[in-house]
Amino acid sequence: MCGIVGYIGKRKAWPVLFKGLERLEYRGYDSAGIALLQNGAFSVYKKKGRVVELSKFTKNQNQLSGGVGIAHTRWATHGVPSDRNAHPHLSSGGDIVIVHNGIIENYLSIKKILVGKGYRFKSDTDTEVLANLIEDIKKHTKVEIDEVVRLALAQVSGAYAILVLSKDEPGTMVVAKVGSPVVIGIGKKEFFVASDATPIIEHTKKVIYLEDGQMATIKNSKLLIKTIKNKTIKNPYVHTLKTKIEELEKGGFPLFMLKEIFEQPKSLADTMRGRIVLDKGNVKFGGLEKFEKQLRSINRLTITAMGTARFTGLIGEYAFEELAGIPTKVEYGSEFAYREAAVDENTGLLAISQSGETKDTLNAIKEAKKKGMLTLGIVNVIGSSIAREVDAGIYNHVGPETAVASTKASTSQALLQIMLAIYLGRMRFARGLSKSKAKGILKEMQKLPALAEMILKSANNIKKLAKKYKNYNNFFFLGRKYNVAAAMEGALKLKECSYIHVEGMNSTELKHGPISLIDKNFPTLIIAPIDSMYEKNKSSIQEIKARGGPVIAITSLGNKELENITDDVIYIPKTLEMLTPILAFIPMQLLAYYIAVERGNDVDKPRNLAKSVTVE
């Protein structure tokens, strides 16, 4: 987690860094800081709290005049959120300043040696240890700062993206990466460095993504990239960014989460755009074309992801089995990476991640590669670590998702997996999918953007419900078949935004224990559309009502029956059973959003969270 930004060039560094931190705040927001190189010394401005706290320092503009600087927004790993643990960190002698995203695993043993040499530490962080290690090596060698950093990195283990400045070499910035992302933007005689491309887009479209084990030295307006093992990288690939700056703004909505919920008619259409071949009853994915032979040989599938992305994987699991006859299992990335899974080279791994930076998911991909599996990705952020790590992949194409709570990416992830299930089902002859059945599903799929639009038109009804239910401390969210995953995802959305305790599960599971919690103060939301599970869900509703629990039902438009046996009903348009979770997600996102607003929470940045979890 954490976001880092660096600037070296002819402008004032402060505004570039400050704006960059605001763009990266989704990565962590416990504390923030900026270091500028001014008149041969470092000035460090840092504060506990949000990035905006740093604007307190801007009263004296002259103070902030340096053209070289580094900045950081933090999600605490080592040491509580505080001014003193905030980055940037200065070395004891003030020669070195550093920002770091990641974890230095062996920092305690290095710290012990440095303390023995007389170094004193002001913070509890692993990062300050690295700053002092660099200073120590600098004192004892006569090499330039990039070589000093390289020697220091040879001694550390862990994951990092770092930016380092040395007061004795004012025209130089050193960048290095192992396990945490870093992008370098190339301007005219100026360079921008950041954890992702969002702080860079408004300055330049030309970027280089550093690979693991690489470092870059920006010196006298020139960029040199080599490996930490000291091998020069000639002609690194320069990407051209396509994201538009408007996509990063709120566009008239009070918060990003609401904007992103309302973008779903478009994001669902963009997910399908150019990929549905209706007359052939098939789907095409440019990124998979070269892998058809390997895909045909897959006879089992493991889906790996975390959080919301994993819940969408549970929808995928049902779809891959139903449409392609491929036995499928959903795994936490964090578990797959470490346990002995019974997989072989005919088991495919499908990694799902909005950010493309989730460390647990990335670890699972690396483990799968060791096991000889074909690795596939469904990723939103173009050029992200997961997108680059997998053998082949599919992009969501839903644009940047900024609110910590995932919304438009999640509906796209579920949709893409059903599309992929059709693609795989159509290429399998034995347990494959007929053209006419596939065509029927695709036709219904194409209606989803319009159906999502219909749900959003009734957002005000959900706003009213939010007022009614905002003060409950507990909720159950229930569903059956494809909607078990939807219930779990709805529960996560409400808990992370509103801080209410919510459990999502299979409706039937309730009577195997959890129903003992039901009383008049414990409401349940049940997803009960008219489908193969409707009657069973109706029985669950009766069981909850018989015990005095309030019930909100999400059901199919036109089904008035549930109004008589529940307290409140939310309607979603009719669609195929396997597509209902995509629609059911939307009212649950709205409910989570409006309840969180009612409770006065910081909805876009809920406490203790970060948008991309780049630590284990």
Stretch that binds ligand M6R, among 83-91, 101-109, 168-176, 398-406 (CB under 6 A): 398-406
When the beta carbons of 505 and 609 are compared against ligand M6R, the nearer one is: 609
Q: How far apart are CA 513 and CA 553, in angstroms?
A: 21
Least distance between ligand M6R and beta carbon 201 (Å): 19
When the beta carbons of 309 and 376 are compared against ligand M6R, the nearer one is: 309
489 in Cβ contact with 588 (< 8 Å): yes
Residue 351 interacts with ligand M6R (CB under 6 A)? Answer: no
When the beta carbons of 13 and 309 are compared against ligand M6R, the nearer one is: 309
Identify the DSSP state of 531: S
When the beta carbons of 376 and 442 are compared against ligand M6R, the nearer one is: 376
Q: How far apart are CA 39 and CA 502, in angstroms?
A: 54
Residue 358 interacts with ligand M6R (CB under 6 A)? Answer: yes
When the beta carbons of 173 and 590 are compared against ligand M6R, the nearer one is: 590
Q: Which of 309, 337, 341, 368 binds ligand M6R (CB under 6 A)?
A: 309
378 in Cβ contact with 417 (< 8 Å): yes
125 in Cβ contact with 110 (< 8 Å): no
What's CA 554's distance to the chain center, in Å? 28
What interhelical angle do 448-457 and 264-272 show, nearest 10? 170
Say which of 2, 47, 495, 605 is annotated catalytic: 2
Residues 195-234 that bind ligand M6R (CB under 6 A): none
Tokens 């933090």 correspond to what residue?
Answer: 74
Least distance between ligand M6R and beta carbon 292 (Å): 27
Neighbours of 369 (CB within 10 A): 15
Q: How many chain residues interact with ligand M6R (CB under 6 A)?
A: 16
501 in Cβ contact with 473 (< 8 Å): yes
Least distance between ligand M6R and beta carbon 490 (Å): 11
Residue 613 interacts with ligand M6R (CB under 6 A)? Answer: yes
Q: Which of 180, 361, 555, 614 binds ligand M6R (CB under 6 A)?
A: 361
Count of helices and strands (H, E) across the chain: 19, 26
When the beta carbons of 156 and 492 are compared against ligand M6R, the nearer one is: 492
* Structure token pair of residue 478: 């229930």
Least distance between ligand M6R and beta carbon 79 (Å): 23
When the beta carbons of 196 and 568 are compared against ligand M6R, the nearer one is: 196
Tokens 């493309």 correspond to what residue?
Answer: 356
When the beta carbons of 357 and 531 are compared against ligand M6R, the nearer one is: 357
Q: How far apart are CA 611 and CA 103, in angstroms?
A: 17
* Structure token pair of residue 64: 């902030």
When the beta carbons of 106 and 608 are compared against ligand M6R, the nearer one is: 608
Checking DSSP bridges between strand 300-305 and strand 347-353, what pairing results, if any? parallel
Least distance between ligand M6R and beta carbon 440 (Å): 30
Q: How far apart are CA 9 and CA 411, in angstroms?
A: 41
Q: How far apart are CA 27 and CA 13, in angstroms?
A: 21
- For ligand M6R, the nearest residue by Cβ is 307
Least distance between ligand M6R and beta carbon 591 (Å): 14
Q: Which of 103, 306, 394, 541 binds ligand M6R (CB under 6 A)?
A: 306
Q: Which of 307, 348, 393, 550 binds ligand M6R (CB under 6 A)?
A: 307
Residue 612 interacts with ligand M6R (CB under 6 A)? Answer: yes
When the beta carbons of 217 and 417 are compared against ligand M6R, the nearer one is: 417
Containing H/E element for 527? strand 524-527
Least distance between ligand M6R and beta carbon 457 (Å): 24
Q: How far apart are CA 160 and CA 180, in angstroms?
A: 5
Say which of 46, 111, 605, 611 is annotated catalytic: 611
Least distance between ligand M6R and beta carbon 355 (Å): 3
Residue 396 interacts with ligand M6R (CB under 6 A)? Answer: no
497 is annotated as an active-site residue: no
Q: Which of 354, 402, 411, 498 binds ligand M6R (CB under 6 A)?
A: 354
Stretch that binds ligand M6R, among 19-27, 300-308, 505-513, 518-526 (CB under 6 A): 300-308
Q: Which of 91, 217, 347, 353 binds ligand M6R (CB under 6 A)?
A: 353
Longest distance between any two alpha carbons in the chain, whole Å: 82
Least distance between ligand M6R and beta carbon 358 (Å): 3
Contact characters 401-440, ligand M6R, x per CB under 6 A: ---xxx----------------------------------
Q: How far apart are CA 460 and CA 593, in angstroms?
A: 12
Identify the DSSP state of 232: B
Which residues, including other chains, have CB under 8 Å from residue 39's CB and lie 6 or more apart?
Answer: none
172-178 sheet: strands from edge to edge: 89-90, 96-104, 158-166, 172-178, 214-219, 222-227
* Structure token pair of residue 526: 């049940």
Q: Which of 308, 498, 537, 556 binds ligand M6R (CB under 6 A)?
A: 308
The CA distances from residue 554 to 262, 464, 466, in Å, are: 19, 15, 14
Stretch that binds ligand M6R, among 154-162, 207-215, 273-281, 306-314 (CB under 6 A): 306-314
Residue 566 interacts with ligand M6R (CB under 6 A)? Answer: no
Residues 480-539 that bind ligand M6R (CB under 6 A): 492, 496
Q: How far apart are CA 558 and CA 574, in angstroms?
A: 9
* Structure token pair of residue 170: 């004012």
Helix (H, G, I), strand (E, B) or coil at 92: coil
Q: Which amino acid is at 171?
A: G
Which residues, including other chains, have CB under 8 Å from residue 118's CB and lie 6 or more apart?
Answer: none
Least distance between ligand M6R and beta carbon 233 (Å): 28
Least distance between ligand M6R and beta carbon 250 (Å): 18
511 is annotated as an active-site residue: no
When the beta carbons of 253 and 534 are compared against ligand M6R, the nearer one is: 253
474-479 sheet: strands from edge to edge: 501-506, 474-479, 524-527, 551-556, 568-572
Residue 615 interacts with ligand M6R (CB under 6 A)? Answer: no
Question: Applying CB under 6 A, which residues contact ligand M6R?
Answer: 306-309, 353-355, 358, 361, 404-406, 492, 496, 612-613
Active site residue ranges: 2, 611
